[in-house]
Structure 1
Amino acid sequence: MRHHDLVVIGAGSGNTVIDDSFADLDVAIVEERWFGGTCLNAGCIPSKMLAYTAHVARTVREAGAYDVDAELRAVRWRAARDRVFGRLDAERDSGRRGREHEDRVTVYEGRARFTGPRTLRIGRADGSVDVSAGQIVLAAGGRPLVPGPVAESGLPYETSDTVMRIDAPPRRLAILGGGYIAAELAEVFAEAGSSVTIVEKEERLLGPQDETVAERFTELVRSRYDLRLGREVTAVAGTPGALRLALDDGSTVEADTLLVAVGRVPNSDRLNLDAAGIATHDDGRVIVDRHQRTTADGVFALGDICSPVPLKHVANREAEVVAHNLRHPEDLIAADHERVPAAVFTQPPIASVGLTEQDCRDRGLDCLVGTAGYGDIAYGWAMEDDTGFCKVLAEPGTGRLLGAHLMGAEAPTLIQPLVLALTLGIDAATLARSPYWIHPALTEIVENALLDLDL
């Protein structure tokens, strides 16, 4: 049995654990599918590259609002797809080759399963290999969840893992789910020419967002898509390319292609964790302490397989924590999962950090609410934007920021001053009145929302 000082299972954020400080160790990386993980190959990066393409198309199509005569002839889907994945696949392959050529790093292609404490069997195309390790990092990520009626139908479907690589946009695309993956990909394919129907069991899209954001976004996209809200799929029938979705209200949806985007599940069930004494939560996430240690001695975990906040920037931060703690067991540091910002790259884009207004109600917290509209600032006039807004929540008396939510142009960038304020403990009044805010710039939307708190 080959022994390594350290084995990392998963080459997404797990790959970033191994830096120059591990040069004196015998390290192995086990990757079942693709270097770079979901983000590089089927998640954050390709979806945002295609979302930006959709944004350019939408800008051209709506140029008349700015007295510009322009005509959108077409989105050349295959060319756009090949541009995106030509670059990203090269990045993936380069990352893999770089690791394979490093001294004291062994790359195993295959699926790892525990056979005992810190012992693994790696299934490969040419047979299996058994290895042991002094320490192990679980970074095996997650995968799309597929509901029973879809899986049991035997009919083809796409997920976020596959749909961005298809050869042509479908004429009729049905999307099952109403979260951020569904919302982003709906826009990508709508701008590429698909007629989109979204089936979502909740009454609003983007339900986890602040209620004002979810309500306004849902209303904005009603004219773009056929929304079937408060509905669930009970069966999928038809033939490939001519699908028929039966909904629980007795209605049906006809589609050429079905995209399943109802959420993701951790890959913990594929690792035989019981053999290693590694416990999981009821939802399958590996249990870790604040230092990213699992219930098994010498085994750490990071990313979607364990994180309560399954976002790439969180996985990267957890990787930094794990790397430090592996090398400095006498000086452990912790990952902080409070005040994590997130964004949805739709049009309009959305960004958030901290508590929502409904969170405050559920927790019995009093909060002040400040709002400002893009249409009330000069650059919003330039953009002819009458829908975008910023909403901030603060503690009465102290002005301590509790949460912030934006929907509008550049929201994922504009949220950052509010992220800093929440993280560093800068109160709303100080943030609004101490620094200069450039005029006329979109940042005035943040300033005005803070001033609206009237502290």
Structure 2
Amino acid sequence: MRHHDLLILGAGSGKALLDDRFADLDVAVVSAGPFGGTCLNTGCIPSKMLVATADVADAVRDAGRHDVDAQLQGVRWPDVRDRVFGRLDAVSAEDERDRREAANTTVHRGAARFTGPRRITVDTADGPVELSADRVVVAAGGRPVVPPVVAASGLPHETSDTVMRLPVPPERLVVLGGGYVAAELAHVFRSAGSRVVVVEKEERLLGQQDETVSAAFTEAVRDQWDLRLGRELTAVGGRPGDLRLTLDDGTELRADTLLVAVGRRPNSDLLDLERAGIATGEDGRITVDAQLRTTADGVWAFGDIATPVPLKHVANREARIVAHNLLHPGRERSMDYAAVPSAVFTRPQIAQVGLTERQARERGHEVAVAVHRYADVAHGWALEETEGFCKVLADRRTGRLLGAHLLGPQAATLVQPLVVALTAGMTARELAEVPLWIHPALTEVVENALLALPAAGH
């Protein structure tokens, strides 16, 4: 059994915590999947590169609103796919090569499972390898959920792990799910020429967003996608390339491709965690404290396998917290999830931070709400934008920001000053009146929403 100072399970954000401060440690990195993890290979980065292409195609289609005569001749999907993954596959390979060439690091490729406290077996191509370590970091990620009705059918289906590498866009794509993965990929393939049907069991898309945003987004995409809301998939039949999908109201949908995007689950069930004394919650996430320590001595966990907010920017912060705590025992730092922003890169784009209006009221806040439309600021006129808005929430007694929600162009960028203010505990009035806001920039939609909120105590 080979013993190491530090053992890391996962080569996504797990690998990312290593820097020069760990150069004097004997480190092992274990991964069954490609280096870079979900974000680099099947998640954030390739999907956003494809979204950028979709946005260009849609801009051409919509050029007439700016009195520009333009015609989209087509999206060269094989070229787009090869451009995206040609770059990302090279980055993944380079990441692995760099880690293998590091003098203090040993890389093991294969599935790992615990055999005891801080001991694992790795099923490599050359046979099982047994490892132990003084300290262990579990960052083994997650995977898409596939409902039993799909899995039991035996017929082919795609997930976010596979669909972006298809050789051609589907002619008829059915997307099962209404969350952010479903929305982004529906946007990509509709812009590439697919006829898209979205099946979602809730009555609105993006149900975890603020209710105003969720309702507005659902209406905004009705003319882009065939929406089957409040419906569930009950049977999958037909044959590969000609699927017959039955919904709970008896409707039958025909599709050449089914994309399953109903959520993700942590990979904790694959690791025999109980043998190491590592506890998990009912949802499968590894149980950690504020310093990201597990219930097992000398074991930390972070990223999609443990975090309450499975987003890459959250995992990056968690990696820095774990790295510090490994290097500075007795002076540990804690992870704070109080103001985590997120974005949905679809059309229209969405971003949010903090509480939704419903959450704020359920938590007992006396909530002040203000909404300002993109169409009511000068740069919104320049964009000919008619759908977008910024919604801000504040505590009516104290004036402190509680949440912010944007729908429209550049939402993921516009939300950032609101993230800073919420993190710093600023009032809405302080954010609106202390800094200067550029005119006529799109940020004025944020400024004006803040100014529309009543002053504290009113």
| TM-score using structure 1 length | 0.99
Is 1:272 equivalent to 2:272 in the alignment?
A: yes
Deviation of 1:126 (Å): 1.3
Matched with 2:224 is: 224
Distance 1:320 1:360 in 2: 30
Matched with 1:410 is: 410
Deviation of 1:433 (Å): 0.9
Distance 1:163 1:114 in 2: 32
SS at match of 1:393: strand
Distance 2:24 2:450 in 1: 51
Query: Contact 2:353–2:403 (CA<8 Å) still a contact in 1?
Result: yes
Distance 1:23 1:285 in 2: 30
Distance 2:257 2:348 in 1: 25
Distance 1:349 1:370 in 2: 20
Within 5 Å, give how 1:137-286 maps onto structure 2.
137-286=137-286
Give structure 2 stretches of 5+ with no counterpart: none
Within 5 Å, give how 1:312-331 maps onto structure 2.
312-331=312-331
Distance 2:430 2:3 in 1: 56
Distance 2:124 2:23 in 1: 26
Letter in 2 for 1:11: A
Distance 1:114 1:284 in 2: 16
Matched with 2:72 is: 72
Letter in 2 for 1:10: G
SS at match of 2:338: coil
Matched with 1:393 is: 393
Two-structure CA RMSD over aligned residues (Å): 0.6
Matched with 1:115 is: 115
SS at match of 2:186: helix
Matched with 1:448 is: 448
Is 1:7 equivalent to 2:32 in the alignment?
A: no
Letter in 2 for 1:308: P
Letter in 2 for 1:387: E
Q: How many residues align?
A: 455
Deviation of 1:177 (Å): 0.2
Deviation of 1:130 (Å): 0.3
Letter in 2 for 1:355: L
Describe the superposition over 1:327-347 as per-residue Cα deviations: whole angstroms up to 9, x where unpaired.
Answer: 111101011111100000011
Describe the superposition over 1:52-101 as per-residue Cα deviations: whole angstroms up to 9, x where unpaired.
Answer: 00000000111011000111000000000000000000100010000000
Query: Contact 2:374–2:385 (CA<8 Å) still a contact in 1?
Result: yes
Query: Contact 2:396–2:454 (CA<8 Å) still a contact in 1?
Result: no
Distance 1:300 1:174 in 2: 39
Letter in 1 for 2:116: G
Distance 1:91 1:406 in 2: 33
Query: Contact 2:141–2:304 (CA<8 Å) still a contact in 1?
Result: yes
Deviation of 1:284 (Å): 0.4
Query: Contact 2:201–2:232 (CA<8 Å) still a contact in 1?
Result: yes
Within 5 Å, give how 1:9-28 maps onto structure 2.
9-28=9-28
Distance 1:426 1:364 in 2: 20
Deviation of 1:366 (Å): 1.4
SS at match of 2:196: strand
Distance 1:54 1:428 in 2: 35
- Percent identity at matched positions? 64
Distance 2:366 2:170 in 1: 48
Query: Contact 2:122–2:129 (CA<8 Å) still a contact in 1?
Result: yes
Letter in 1 for 2:71: E
SS at match of 1:448: helix
Distance 1:344 1:303 in 2: 19
Distance 1:330 1:359 in 2: 36
Letter in 1 for 2:217: F
Distance 2:33 2:390 in 1: 40
Deviation of 1:363 (Å): 2.0
Deviation of 1:454 (Å): 2.6
Letter in 2 for 1:314: V
Describe the superposition over 1:360-418 as per-residue Cα deviations: whole angstroms up to 9, x where unpaired.
Answer: 22223211001100000001001111110000000013210000000011000000000
Is 1:421 equivalent to 2:432 in the alignment?
A: no
Deviation of 1:249 (Å): 1.1
Within 5 Å, give how 1:298-309 maps onto structure 2.
298-309=298-309
Deviation of 1:425 (Å): 1.2
Letter in 2 for 1:319: A
SS at match of 1:223: coil
Describe the superposition over 1:236-271 as per-residue Cα deviations: whole angstroms up to 9, x where unpaired.
Answer: 000000001111111111110000000000000000
SS at match of 1:293: coil
Distance 1:395 1:373 in 2: 21
Matched with 1:435 is: 435
SS at match of 1:295: coil
SS at match of 1:294: coil
Distance 2:451 2:32 in 1: 51
Matched with 1:363 is: 363
SS at match of 1:15: helix
Deviates more, 1:156-165 or 1:18-27: 18-27
Distance 2:375 2:129 in 1: 62
Distance 1:252 1:180 in 2: 25
Distance 2:431 2:330 in 1: 38
Give structure 1 stretches of 5+ with no counterpart: none
Matched with 2:30 is: 30
Deviation of 1:436 (Å): 1.0
Distance 2:362 2:229 in 1: 24
SS at match of 1:438: coil
